[in-house]
Structure formats: structure tokens, C-alpha cells
Structure 1
Amino acid sequence: MKNKKHISQSELESYLWGAATLLRGYIDAGDYKQFIFPLLFYKRLCDVYDEELANALEESGGDKEYAELPEQHRFQIPKEAHWKVTRTQVSNVGKAIQDAMREIERANPDTLYGVFGDAQWTNRDRLPDHMLRELIEHFSSQKLSLANCPEDELGVGYEFLIKKFADDSGHTAAEFYTNRTVVHLMTEILEPKPGESIYDPTCGSAGMLLSAVAHLKRQNKEWRNLRLFGQERNLLTSAIGRMNLFLHGIEDFRIVRGDTLANPVFVEGDRLMQFDVVLANPPYSIKQWDREAWAADPWGRNIYGTPPQGRADYAFWQHIIKSMKATSGRCAILFPHGVLFRNEELSMREKLVAHDVVECVLGLGPNLFYNSPMEACVVICSMNKPKERRNKVLFINAVNEVTRERAQSFLTDEHIQRIVTAYQTFGDAGGFARVVSNDEIREKGSNLSIPLYVRADNGDGNGNRSAETISFKQAIANWQESSTELRKSMNKLLKELEDIREMEGAK
């Protein structure tokens, strides 16, 4: 069976988004993903199965029994669950889709269990038969075989769809989408190596795990022996992440649904599993978490203390530090700037500085968090710093390294290269980067706020940054610095007063 044709990237994107537009008026844009992704994956599985069948028939001279052997197929598709059968369904189409997906999951228990999520296909008020038939016919218009649509290209199309759904779904987007240029930067800094274990404790749609694979592919290095691990508490999002990796041709991974803080799934005996590389964008300052349980954490993750109820950021940070290998462990975490200076987390920050695991604090420009003008920072930690970097932290003020086009902010390749070079060089660069001793950080009250150490140039670099914004940020930094100095002066004065009182008492 020869391929119909190779699908171009633009055709693929138009085809994928065309499926979503058929749902308009029936369900909210934020819910598109729970129906489109499973249908796309279902169609792909069946088309690849048919392709494998045709190849095996050709190879065996038409031996049908040989061609249907399980070892000829990456995944098993029961005959009654095949796309072709579902396509003939005229009524109760939602039930037919749901039954077929469950059959395929049962036929592949080790790999596909739960992969299609839990969408309500049988709700005929939301998903009438005629609309589902239109959707199935739309997907049937292209053959998604490997020959027509190679894994890398379908993977890019899938990522396009994730991005489009993020654009359409407003504030919920951050749950499953992190700005890909920021993810690319984080991966370039950590430089994953062939054979390493990569972990994301809040993995969303698995974009960070895929970024590690893409990094090695770009360098023409072996990527198939990477071991990928992710945990995600949202069932649909974890299913999307698994489908994403499968569609990119990756099979050696474990993505498990669950709450990382309440129930970490990657454990060995009585301790957390440890990894070479951790990439993470934890949910920002979540309030609904079990602080009481954390105070007596059975996994020993409260190494620096118990975070306040209203902000779980340091819980994720400590979880990540406990999840890194002692010799090769390194991480890049995307955080809001507040973790660097908030007073309520000071005692934990003091211990973090004393532990000497923070290697670099990188400040990014505005609007890189999804659908939020908030500025983000990336914290790089290493469990085994090179000797020349010990008891030092590199601060990079990359607030001007951002470009904005069509209401989207992103990092260009030039921005990424400048930041990565500064990290690798680990030296001072006026107005951009500075190496600071841990002693100096302690003198400033263990405050890691970047403008305290590196004052960005007031130029707007890319036409995206106003001098007023920078001067306002600088004013905050100056206030923080002066308040630290004031506190030190007051402490000194109080000490002197105590000394005077003691001397007077001794007379």
C-alpha cells in the first residue's frame, strides 16, 4: 500500500485546527483539548497499525497471519476498535468512540492504560451524533501514517495545537503550556547528555521533557537512551503529555498522574528517586496544599523548613533538591521573582544559601509567563558545583532580552545565546551579569533579588522595555538594599546600647 501523499506542515496545522473549529458553538474553547487530542491519537494509532500491516504483508508475500502478529506492531488495535469500524457508526457515536478507546487501552495495558483521558464522549447534549460524525470525517480526510506524517512533523503539529489551545483557553493555559523559548533556554543551560535521567515534577503536556530530547537531536547525539520521568496532577493534562511523547516517537518514559507534594510517585524504598536533570515550572504560589503533612514529610523534603500555607513554592524547590543526584544533579526552575526576596521565606532562603546549591539566578523579561505580564526568573541549582563556582552565585539580569510580536513575548536565538554564554563563562559583564560571593549575599540578608547585584542598562534593548519600568524596579532594589543596611545599622546600634547598659550595670 503506497502512501497517499506527504502532508506539509502548513496542511497539517490547518487540518488539526480545522478539527477544533468544528467544536465551536458546542463546547467551550478551554475544553477543545479533551476531545481533539484523544481523537488525533486514536486516528494516528490506527493509521500506523495499517501501515505496519501493509509493510508486513509486502515483506511476507501476502501472509495475513504473519502480518497480524503482535510483534509486527508497536501497538495492538483490536479489529472492533479500529477507526474504520467507528467511522461507520451512525448513532450513539460518542459511545462507539469511548468503547473503542477503552478497548485499545485494554489491549495495550503496559503502555496505553488511561492515555485517552476521561472525556464525556457519551454526553449527547454537548456532543450530538451529527457533530461527532463531522469530526470523524474531518480526521478521516488525511492518512496519518509515518510515511505521510513523520513523527517529528506530527510532534511539531501537536505542539502547534497545544499552543493554539493555550491561546484560546485564557488563564488555564499555564497548567499545560510553558513558553517554549523559555523551556529551550533552560534546557540549553543544563545541557542534558545521552543516557541521563530527566525529571519534571509538574510536567504538564511534557514540553520540558521533549525539550531535552530536541536538544540532543539538534546536536546529532544519541537521544533514544534518555530516561524521561514526569508527574502531573491533572488527569487530562497527564494524558496529553503521554500522547505528546508517543506522537514524537518516544517510548522510554514514565508519566504518572498524581500530586507531587502530597504523593510523589517516583520513590525507591524510603527515599525519593534521584535524577541527573530536573526541569520544572511549578504552579505559582498555590494555597491549597497540605502544609501540616509537609512539616513531618516522610520523604525528608522539608530540609530547609516548612513554607507558609499561602505559598508552596519552596515546597516544590525543596522537593526538586531532594530529587537530584549528588554527583550529577542539576536543575532549572521557572519561578515568580517573589521567591528571591519574600520575607516569610527568609529562614529557608538562608539555609539554601548556606547549602551552596544555588549556582545562577536569572531574571527574565515581562510577559513570558503565559497570559500574565508578571516577570519570571529561572533558578539554576547544582548538587556538585565545579570548584571554581563554589560559594558563589552568578546573577544575570536579562530583563531586556525579550521580543514581543503579535501580542506574544518570546526569546530569540540571540537572546538565548547571550544568556547561555554568560552562564557558561560565569564571569562579570557590566549591566548584565555578576558573580557574587555567598558572603555578600548573607550581608544583604540572604536576599537573592537580582537588581541588588546587577543593575540592568536603562536602554530598552529590543524596544520592549521602558526606562520608567526599569527605574521603578531599580527603586525597589535600592529600597531593599537600603532597608538591609538600615537593619544592620539598627542591630549595631542596639548592640552598642546593650554594651553601654552592661558597662553601667557593672559600675
Structure 2
Amino acid sequence: NPENEDILRQLVELFSKYSFKEVSTDILGDAYEWILKYFAPTKAKEGEVYTPREVIELMVEMVDPEEKKSLYDPALGSGGILIAAYKYLKEKKNVSPHKLCGQEVNSKTLAIAEMNLLLHDIEAKFELGDTLLYPKFKEGDFIEVFDYVLANPPWNQDGYGEETLKKGDYAEKRFVYGYPPNNSADWAWIQHMLASAREKVAIVLDTGSVSRGGREKEIRRRVIEDDLFECVVLLPEKLFYNTGAPSVIIIFNKKKPLNRKGKILLINASREYEEGKKQNTLSDENIKKIVKAYKAFKDIEKFSKVITIEDAKEADYNLSPSRFVSVAEEEEYRLIGEIVADLKKVEEERKKVEEKLMKILKAIK
């Protein structure tokens, strides 16, 4: 809004007066990201949501990128995902990624991302344009393929149905599992990311993306039967700055280990958060617990469940973790005989009290 734009202008003018040559790029970059977080819109517009840093860190740790691999974010936003991936490689493995790339449809947002990576002293290649219609990263006669593709695209984005997508570049090669409905582009984003990935895809979306029917269910069925789903994590509500809705992280893996083939891990992490006044957050412990469960890839009571493709079929291809993993406290049930015995005792006590009361009333008369 105009007020925020004026405040940002004043901040730029203020910082322009000082030299930051002696200040670490990490400090400068973190300060810049704090400003981005502070000015994140309070309401989601066209499904656009600012991704909290801890959600990004969780995605990156689950993907666990390796040395000399390429990373791509087709819904770049402020560039936070690529920065987190770079930091993960530098801090955890002391290596750098082979290539960082991203595409963004909004020119102002792209400028924010460029400044963000510049302040973090990170090199990357960015392109401006509508990813779903006109992907800019190309190789030969198709789109460029990257080792890892991570994104938080606009949720339930309107206006990208079959008629529109067919007008875009490489539509038949990218949307091989079918075209999504006009009122939600979630599965257009997923298919573009799958077409762009050599190994893993990680995406944050609205929970309905793994449970809705119609065209989306049909696309989901085909992707499930192609054994591309590896994990679905249900996140807590109120994690995002401009929407209170819960979300899911979906991990797709084109190179599943043999012991994971034909299986999908569902994690119900809806209770894994630290409560705040306006929004909830994921603590380091919450993140560690989710990542540990993903790596273990096994059933954990009230937390995770490994299902087969046949299980998914029986569930009508609904992969909502809450459908398979309940986190509700179990109610204690008592035997009917015990309840009847307790009722008799209560009745006997009632009679005794009534008799005493009658004696008192007679004495008063």
C-alpha cells in the first residue's frame, strides 16, 4: 500500500547515508529479510503468501541438497528459498550449489529478490515472466532440467485452466498428467516443477491440493500411480503471515530408494508448533522431529504413517495426512457394569441425603 511504500522509501534514503563495508553480508541479508517479513501483506492476494523462514528451512532440510547440484525456484518471490538452500550447503556441508535459478512474474518482486541475494553475497540467475505460460529457462527444444526444484507458488491461483495453459510454451510436454480446473493452478505448478526436476521436488500448497476431487483428483491419481509422491507433511495452522489456513509440504522424488518404491509417507505435524500472539512458528525441535521422521520413513504413533499406492487408491486418492494419522487424544471407555455400579452408589447416597432432609423438615414443623 502507499503508506508502506513511503516507509520503504524513507528506509532506503536512511541507509544510503551510511557505509556498510565492514558489516557481514549475513547480517545485512538477515536485516533485509526481516524488513521483508515486517512488510509482508496482511491478506493473501491471488493466493500469494510470504513464506516464513522456518518453513523454508524445513523444506530445504527434507530435500537435503548435495554438492555440485542445481536448484530452481519457479515462483521466486523474495528469493528466500534459494538463500536458505545456499546457506544449508555452506553451513552443513561447506560446499556451494552448482547453480541457482529462479523465475518471477512480478518485476517489483524480482527486484526485491535480486537485492536480497546481492546483500547475502549469493550469485544466481533470475528471469522475469509467467512461469506457467512462458518458462524462461530452456535447454534444447524443452525447458531446462534442474536437480532440485523448490517453491511456494500462489495457492489456488485462478485463470490457468486448460484453454489458457494450452496457449503457453511446451504445454503438452509439461502438463502430461492433465490440465487443472480454471479456479486452481496448484497442479499446473506441480507438473511444471516435475517436468523441471531431475531428482526431488518440494512444494508448499493449500491442504486441498492433496484431497480435492474433479480434475485435480484425476491428475493426482496419475502422479500417485507413477510413484512420484514420496511424502506429504501437514503443517500447523497460522504459520503464514497473511493467511491462517494450514498447508502441506509435498515431496516428490524421481529417484526413490528401492525400499520406498510404491510407498508414501504421511506426516501429521499439525500439533508441531510454538504458539504466538498473531501467528504460530516452527521451533528447531519441531523441524528436527519432522525431518527425522521423513528420514526414518516409518510409522510413528500419532505422527506418521507409511501407506502403499493401493492404500491411496482405497482412500480415493486423498492423501491428507489427517485422514490416516489422528493426533486426537484417545477417549477412555468404561465397562457398562462399572457405570451401573457407580449409578447405584449415587442413587443410594441420594436416598440417604433425602431421608436426612425429610427428618430436618419434620423437626422444623
TM-score for the superposition, normalised by structure 1: 0.62
8 Å CA contact 1:176–1:204 kept in 2: the answer is: no
In structure 2, do the counterparts of structure 1 residues 380 and 220 end up closer, same or farther at CA, with 3 Å as the change threshold?
closer
Shift of 1:393: 0.1
8 Å CA contact 1:295–1:305 kept in 2: the answer is: no
Match of residue 139 from structure 2 = 268
8 Å CA contact 2:134–2:169 kept in 1: the answer is: no
Match of residue 152 from structure 2 = 281
Match of residue 143 from structure 1 = 19
Amino acid at match of 1:377: V
Match of residue 112 from structure 2 = 240
8 Å CA contact 2:42–2:242 kept in 1: the answer is: yes
Q: How does 1:327-338 map to 2 (within 5 A)?
A: 329-338=199-208
Shift of 1:220: 4.7
Report the count of equivalent residues. Answer: 327
8 Å CA contact 2:49–2:240 kept in 1: the answer is: no
8 Å CA contact 2:174–2:192 kept in 1: the answer is: yes
TM-score for the superposition, normalised by structure 2: 0.85
Tell me the SS of whatever aligns to 1:249: coil
Match of residue 260 from structure 2 = 389
8 Å CA contact 1:213–1:226 kept in 2: the answer is: no
In structure 2, do the counterparts of structure 1 residues 439 and 172 end up closer, same or farther at CA, with 3 Å as the change threshold?
closer
Match of residue 206 from structure 1 = 79
In structure 2, do the counterparts of structure 1 residues 27 and 373 end up closer, same or farther at CA, with 3 Å as the change threshold?
closer
Shift of 1:28: 1.9
In structure 2, do the counterparts of structure 1 residues 256 and 140 end up closer, same or farther at CA, with 3 Å as the change threshold?
closer
Match of residue 97 from structure 1 = none
Deviation track 1:76-133 (CA, whole Å, cap 9, x = no partner) reads: xxxxxxxxxxxxxxxxxxxxxxxxxxxxxxxxxxxxxxxxxxxxxxxxxxxxxxxxxx
Unaligned regions of 5+ residues in structure 1, if any? 1-25, 40-134, 460-466, 468-507
2:4 corresponds to 1:29: yes
8 Å CA contact 2:44–2:242 kept in 1: the answer is: no
**Whose RCO is larger (CA < 8 A, sep 6+)?**
2
Shift of 1:446: 1.2
8 Å CA contact 1:337–1:449 kept in 2: the answer is: yes
Match of residue 45 from structure 1 = none
Q: Quick check: which one's helix share is greater?
A: 1
Q: Greater CA deviation, 281-290 or 338-347?
A: 281-290
Match of residue 306 from structure 1 = 179
Tell me the SS of whatever aligns to 1:371: coil
Q: For the residues of structure 1 that align with 2:235 and 2:161, how far apart are their CA atoms?
A: 31
Q: For the residues of structure 1 that align with 2:211 and 2:321, how far apart are their CA atoms?
A: 9
Match of residue 213 from structure 2 = 343
Q: How does 1:50-69 map to 2 (within 5 A)?
A: none
Shift of 1:231: 0.5
Match of residue 159 from structure 1 = 33
Q: Quick check: which one's strand share is greater?
A: 2
Q: For the residues of structure 2 that align with 1:28 and 1:199, how far apart are their CA atoms?
A: 33
Q: For the residues of structure 2 that align with 1:290 and 1:348, how far apart are their CA atoms?
A: 13
Percentage of matched positions with identical amino acids: 36
Deviation track 1:291-318 (CA, whole Å, cap 9, x = no partner) reads: 3142476421111101000111100010
2:51 corresponds to 1:178: yes
Deviation track 1:221-247 (CA, whole Å, cap 9, x = no partner) reads: 112x43111011010000110111111
Shift of 1:143: 1.5
2:188 corresponds to 1:315: yes
Match of 1:376 among 240, 247, 260: 247
Q: For the residues of structure 2 that align with 1:281 and 1:431, how far apart are their CA atoms?
A: 27
Shift of 1:457: 3.7
Q: For the residues of structure 1 that align with 2:109 and 2:58, how far apart are their CA atoms?
A: 23
Tell me the SS of whatever aligns to 1:310: coil
In structure 2, do the counterparts of structure 1 residues 445 and 296 end up closer, same or farther at CA, with 3 Å as the change threshold?
farther
